[in-house]
């Protein structure tokens, strides 16, 4: 597993470190990508590119600073911790993603379209982060998920906001506040604006199906619908 060292002070360039057997405690980021050219990539860090001018660098700084404040030396961020030029590494990363989020000490959910702190604010409820295909696993896999607005102001965590997040996502509050590895369930994410409704299949009873989906060659797999087994239309109540 490749992790980013959180110390970005001084003139030193960001450092990525590889871990195999003993992985140190780490924080992990859940976010929406901006323009690919504005995100800090693995290649940028490896080549020593000037990343400070990229829009995504501020997000990286926020994440690292928060991790240090929380007592962690490392973070995992998908934009820069995966070498996406390697199809083998990308495929392995996708297959490992759920476990990486589950094993993190905390997940920082960065809502770059939420403008004010406070869970009652409508921008939190309407954040596009909740519509992402990856949101399901990034909400339920980590034991601790902390929400931040676009200025990295604290909004709350998924335990305190379980009822509200359940209302937004239609995920059972008990699923949000427990370790999902102990459960088998089908989650239906409804949409009332003519978008596809996705049905996620997880849990022990569906291991074979999930394994089949996860181990498809990357070229024949839609990354945005990882763990999505079926699309169907469900009328909204």
- Evaluate if residue 189 carries a pLDDT over 60: no
Give the 3-state secondary structure of residue 111.
Answer: coil
- Highest-pLDDT range among 2-11, 14-23, 62-71, 214-223: 62-71
**How many angstroms from the chain centroid is the CA of residue 213?**
19
Q: How far apart are CA 222 and CA 208, in angstroms?
A: 19
Task: Kindly state the tokens that stand for 24.
Answer: 């140190």
What residue has token string 């427990």? 178
Supply the pLDDT for residue 59.
93
- CA proximity to 120, closest of 155, 85, 68: 155
Give the pLDDT confidence of 97-136 residue by residue, as tens digits. Answer: 989 999 999 999 999 999 775 556 688 989 999 988 788 8
Opening angle at CA 132, ends 153 and 186, nearest 5: 115
Give the pLDDT confidence of 16-26 residue by residue, as tens digits. Answer: 999 988 999 99
User: Which residues touch 26 (CB under 8 Å, ≥6 apart)?
Assistant: 3, 67, 72, 74, 75, 76, 104, 105
Instruction: Calculate the alpha carbon distances from 41 to 84, 114, 123 in Å.
Output: 9, 24, 28
Task: Kindly state the tokens that stand for 134.
Answer: 């990856």
- Tell me the pTM: 0.78
Supply the pLDDT for residue 136.
81
User: Which residues touch 140 (CB under 8 Å, ≥6 apart)?
Assistant: 171, 175, 176, 180
């Amino acid at each position: 597993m490749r992790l980013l060292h959180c110390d970005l002070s001084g003139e030193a360039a960001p450092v990525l470190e590889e871990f195999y057997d003993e992985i140190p405690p780490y924080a992990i980021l859940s976010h929406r990508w901006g323009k690919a050219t504005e995100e800090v990539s693995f290649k940028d860090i490896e080549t020593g590119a000037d990343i400070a001018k990229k829009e995504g660098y501020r997000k990286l700084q926020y994440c690292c600073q928060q991790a240090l404040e929380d007592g962690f030396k490392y973070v995992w961020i998908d934009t820069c911790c995966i070498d996406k030029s390697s199809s083998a590494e990308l495929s392995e990363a996708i297959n490992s993603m759920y476990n990486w989020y589950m094993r993190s000490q905390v997940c920082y959910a960065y809502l770059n379209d939420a403008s004010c702190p406070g869970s009652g604010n409508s921008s939190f409820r309407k954040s596009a982060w909740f519509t992402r295909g990856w949101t399901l696993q990034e909400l339920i896999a980590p034991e601790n998920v902390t929400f931040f607005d676009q200025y990295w102001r604290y909004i709350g965590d998924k335990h305190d906001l379980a009822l509200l997040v359940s209302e937004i996502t239609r995920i059972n509050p008990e699923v949000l506040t427990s370790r999902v590895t102990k459960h088998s369930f089908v989650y239906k994410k409804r949409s009332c604006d003519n978008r596809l409704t996705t049905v996620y299949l997880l849990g022990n009873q569906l291991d074979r199906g999930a394994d089949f989906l996860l181990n498809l060659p990357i070229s024949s797999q839609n990354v945005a619908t990882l763990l999505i087994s079926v699309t169907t239309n469900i009328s909204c109540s």
